[in-house]
Amino acid sequence: MHLCGWGNHSGCHGVAHTGEGEAKGWAVRSHFTPADVPVLTPAGWRRLPATPDHPLEPVPTPDAVEYMVLIGAIKIPTYSRNG
């Protein structure tokens, strides 16, 4: 995947090195298979192809978000009833 910017601080490449980038699938923790992690693109959630010859596979938003929560890339806030 190509991202704009360079280093760990500019453009989309800089975002990829943050929690926001991980939540978008732009960065993948080493113990996960990148092909399994959905990626947020301007066209919606997609799964990257195994080879450049395959088109991007669309992923329904609920499925993508559920997977990202499962692997800890998206955090769901919890609230206490006691304040």
Q: DSSP labels for 21-69?
A: HHHTTSS--TTS-GGGSEEEETTEEEE--SSTTSPPEE--HHHHHHHHH
- The whole-angstrom separation of Cα 26 and Cα 3 is 9
pLDDT tens for residues 21-73?
Answer: 889 998 888 888 888 899 998 889 998 876 778 778 899 999 999 999 988 88
Please tell me what DSSP assigns to residue 79. -
Which candidate, 35, 24, 23, places its Cα nearest to that of 75?
A: 23
Q: What pTM does this model have?
A: 0.74
Please tell me what DSSP assigns to residue 19. H
